Amino acid sequence: MLKNISKLINGDLLKILNDMGHGDTLVLADANFPAASQGTKVVYTPGADAVQMMDAILSLMPLDQYVDNPVQLMAVNPGDTYVPTIWDDFKASILKNNGETNIEFIDRFDFYDRAKKAYVVVSTGEERLYGCAILKKGVIK
């Protein structure tokens, strides 16, 4: 056991977070996201929702302060009337752990393209729709 590290962060994910460098990206994926087909490392955390994982990850990993939008969320598909309640929870976690941070909303297929270039996908058990985020790692000043 280690002190001050969430039980949601297993040893594999802790090593990956440590190995990531400035500018590397992490995809936080909901349960519907095609994690295995992205062609990158996948860490499965089916017992945690995406907000819990975001909070645990951002308690350890700084966001990139040198880019306009270090957080990208999957936007609602055109024509879909669903209003994602998870976005408010994501914003609260980001504010708590990183302060005011710009967020970009990108369409699903652009999100998939960016996910293929990510360092890792963290696949959660999140069942709320549009519970996917891309986080760009920054530096500790």
Catalytic residue list? 22
Q: What is the token pair recorded at 82?
A: 């669903």
Q: Read off the amino acid at residue 139.
A: V
Q: Which two tokens stand for residue 123?
A: 């696949």
Q: From edge to edge, which strands make up the β-sheet containing 25-29?
A: 41-45, 120-124, 25-29, 133-136, 71-74, 103-106
User: What DSSP character marks residue 137?
Assistant: B
